[in-house]
Structure 1
Amino acid sequence: MKFGVIIVTYNRLSLLQECLLCAFDQTVPFHRILVVDNHSTDGTAQYLDSIDHPALSVLHLPENIGGAGGFARGLKEMAKSDCDWVLIIDDDAMISPIYMEEISRAIVGSRYLAYSGTVETEGAIDGSHRRLLANRCLMTYRPVPVSAYQGESFVYDVSTFCGLVLKTSLIRRIGLPKANYFIWFDDTEYCLRFRKYSRILNVCGAKLNHRTVPPSPHPVTCWKNFYGFRNAIDIGRRYSSHPQIFLAYTVCNHLAHIAIDGALALLGNRRPERLYRMKIYRDVLTGMKKPPDGMDRRYPPGSGFQK
């Protein structure tokens, strides 16, 4: 079996350096390591061009097309390669030295076309990356229970692109992730698309350290939320068992949030953030009849409300 890995990076040079060391240090080595540089401006391009490694190739993009675009470009290249399996990660995913060894062992004699490992953040399991489809009508999900990680493996429905391993023939069969999502939910849509061919087997002994801040119970609204809401609507329209019910529920839900945020903003409760979130909901609702179209100029990376 020949394994490849796609690493999408943007302006996180120190993380990328560590991520590449982890990729170079596998007990089952990668046949090809493809780094997709999303037009970084922090010296990433120069660093990558200075590395001499037989498995490494670099794709320098002329503009930042978001994580969704980066993964789509990377998978397009890998689909043309002779790799049998492809690992998909961001530059903040540090795979353990035996990650691919554990995955390769699970593949032997198995019928699944998609695999993953266990994501840990600051030493604790982060279940948000491995989810079950809880309600096919409303397209809601729930994390796989932490107790499931006590076994050797478990099967689930939806993964992030944080340690997902796909058979290359599956990629060729279903096509590429939706680059027009820009960020967020491109991985969810991709998993739902290939679900009719295979669910995902999580190999609990294959671990990666996700070098990010643990999820907050009260995350601050930012520009990324627009893309999350927008792309979730597109997914519901495509995959809900009852799309009209899903859309009606989503409209009512967003209108309710606008009303609640408006009332609390009048009381002075986190007013700038609530007004910004109301704008996001309004923009999502007014544009929901249109398919996602990449980066929206109203919500460029780094934008947000002023505290």
Structure 2
Amino acid sequence: MIKVGIIICNYNKKEYVLKCIDSVLNSSYKDFDIYLVDNASTDGSVQAVKERFCNELKIIENEENIGGSGGFYTGIKFVINKGYKYIYLLDNDVVIHENSLEKLVDYMEKNLNVGATGSKIYYLDNPKVIQEFGSFVDWDDFNMKLMNKGSIDLGFSDMKSDYVPACSALLRVDALKEVGNIDKEYFVYWDDIDLCHRLKLQGYEIWAINDSKVWHKGGGNVRRNTFGTYYFWRNRIHFFIKYSEESKIEKVAAKLFDDIFDAVYACNYVGKYNSAKTISLALEDAIHNVRGKVSDDKIFKVEKIEDRLKEILRGKKSITIISYNNVDILMNVINKIKTINNKVELTILSNKKLDIEQFKECKILKSNDYKSKESEIVIKLCNHIFDMRNELCNNIIYIDGYFNTIITQEDRKYIENYENIYCMMKNIWYPNLVDGMRRLNKKLNN
């Protein structure tokens, strides 16, 4: 067997990291060394690992929390010259199938042009549902694009991708030496995308492997502060300024302005003023090339928002959901409805073929088969509520992928005023945004 260096990055997830290490030790692939990089955890993680696993791994203790990016950077730097052919990155809240590592190594051995392979990732709390399999960079919308999220695994083939998430990624050491270490200045988010993009620029391929399975907890849906909001936006903006051609910077600026405006306008709409403020700070920092760990005064507590759907949905006997092509949003909305009212009869209108097993508690109809059945509530799903601003109907509730809703006439007036505010803010912000992005693009590429 070929020896693999396994790096697990941990911060304050004691119970999860113990399960992660257990799953690695139960692998069918046995020729590896484990390195746990701990980012100054305060929950007893290090002591628990020492007591349970003793001499089965090496622990690298950082003096402060330097983020997932910094943790992986530290681990890679420590092991890259120790003779390993491959380095396997794992998040602390991942459980791997016994064959996962073997399948990744086998694929890399047979395909020498591949720089990184990743696993098919399932939700740890919903183990039959895919969290991510096939990950891409969308150079039109300047964002990441996840394939198969929220889908039941009906069988897939290995998928050539733009990147594989660092929660389970096998890297070829020779390729790493060519392109350099993971960029620790991301702190969290977009670091794996950046690394894989650099591998692709050097001619290497990136593949997601169907038979390599892992289960990932992830950040979850409940956020108590704006930590994730800040880093996702700042790092997304940085990535596309850095890697876009100079001639396309105005297109980048136009799309990111639209997305930022939508996000801020939506945050103000629902009362998440701290999130709106965080996005503005993330944009400002990205334009001024502020990187690494952000100061605490830029992270805020998320306000508690009243759940407006509860009163509307409680006690209802029948609801019709007009779906569109995003299965993940459909599933999330159904789960939300069920937590409020688990006795309601649900009908889904969809012209996309849906998995009957996944939606077995619902009646599924094609739109043209819907014979004007009377439902107490009709809900229409959309990518974003602002996309609906020119086609609002009074008798329909709109819900988007962020659980923003349009329910009342006041809601409709706010949405209808979108264009006026958008034009005013674009006249004020956009010219400076383009100039700032151009200057940074030139600086980073020089």
TM-score bracket relative to the smaller structure: 0.7 to 0.9
Matched, 1:293 2:291: yes
**Aligned position for 2:384:** none
| CA distance in structure 1 between the partners assigned to 2:144 and 2:263 by the alignment | 20
When residues 77 and 256 of structure 1 are mapped into structure 2, their CA distance, relative to the original with a 3 A threshold, is same
CA shift, 1:159, in A, is 1.8
Residues 104-141 of structure 1: CA distance to partner in whole angstroms, max 9, x if unpaired? 3223321312111211112234343631233x254233
Letter paired with 1:83: Y
Name 2:198's counterpart in structure 1.
193
Q: 1:283 aligns to what?
A: 281
Name the SS of the counterpart of 2:135 in structure 1. Answer: strand
* Preserved contact between residue 130 and residue 152 of structure 2 (Cα < 8 Å): no
* Alignment match, 1:170: 175
Offset, 1:63 = 0.4
The question of 1:247 aligning with 2:244 is answered no
2:109 match? 108
Partner of 1:25: 26
Larger Rg: 2
Against the structure 1 CA distance between its residues 170 and 125, is the aligned structure 2 distance closer, same or farther, given a 3 Å change threshold?
farther
Q: 1:11 to 1:228 in 2, by over 3 A?
A: same
Asked if 2 retains the 8 angstrom alpha-carbon contact of 1:68 and 1:177, the reply is yes
CA offset at residue 152 of structure 1?
4.2
Cα RMSD, aligned residues only: 2.5
| Corresponding position of 2:7 | 6
Unmatched tracts of structure 2, length 5 or more:
305-446
Aligned counterparts of 1:275 and 1:60: Cα–Cα separation in 2: 37
Which residues of 2 match residues 65-104 of structure 1 at below 5 A? 65-104=66-105
* More off after superposition, 110-119 vs 84-93: 110-119
Please report the TM-score for the alignment, with normalisation by the length of structure 2: 0.61
Residue-by-residue CA offset, 1:222-246 (whole Å, 9 max, x unaligned):
3211111001111011122422320
Question: Tell me, what secondary structure is at the counterpart of 1:113?
Answer: strand
- 2-side partners of 1:159 and 1:131: how far apart? 6
Task: State the alpha-carbon separation in 1 of the partners of residues 164 and 228 from structure 2.
Answer: 19
- Letter of the structure 2 residue corresponding to residue 114 of structure 1: A
Counterpart-to-counterpart distance in 2, 1:211 and 1:30: 26
Unmatched 5+ residue regions in structure 1? none
Tell me the secondary structure at the aligned position of residue 39 of structure 1: coil
**Match of 1:133?**
137
For 1:4 and 1:190, the matched residues in 2 are separated by 18
Deviation by residue 1:197-221 (Cα, 9 ceiling, x = unmatched): 32222221111111347x65x9787
Contact (CA 8 Å) 1:5, 1:32: kept in 2 or not?
yes
Query: SS in structure 1 opposite 2:58?
Result: strand
TM-score computed with the length of structure 1 as normaliser? 0.86
Map 1:153-232 → 2, pairs under 5 A: 153-196=158-201, 197-212=203-218, 222-232=226-236
Measured against aligned partners, the alpha-carbon deviations of 1:1-50 in whole angstroms (never above 9, x if no partner) come to 21121100111111111111111111111421110001011112223334
Shift of 1:247: 2.2
CA distance in 2, matches of 1:38, 1:219: 21
- What is the DSSP-based 3-state SS (H/G/I as helix, E as strand, rest coil) of the residue aligned with 1:195? helix
Counterpart residue type for residue 26 of structure 2:
D
Residues in 1 aligned to 2:259 and 2:155: alpha-carbon distance in whole angstroms: 36
- Greater relative contact order (CA < 8 Å, ≥ 6 in sequence): 1
- d(CA) in 2 for partners of 1:9 and 1:300? 23
Structure-2 separation of matches of 1:33 and 1:115 = 19
Letter in 2 for 1:64: N
> Using the alignment, how far apart are the partners of 1:149 and 1:2 within structure 2?
33
For each residue in 1:157-215, what CA deviation from the matched residue of structure 2 results, as whole angstroms up to 9, or x when unmatched?
Answer: 122112110101111111112211111111111111211232222221111111347x6
Q: How many residues align?
A: 294
What is the CA distance between 1:148 and its match in structure 2?
A: 9.1
Contact 1:137 1:240 in 2 (8 A): no
- What is the alpha-carbon distance in structure 2 between the residues aligned to residue 152 and residue 256 of structure 1? 36
The 2-side partners of 1:199 and 1:149 are apart by 25
Between the aligned partners of 1:261 and 1:60, the Cα distance in structure 2 is 38
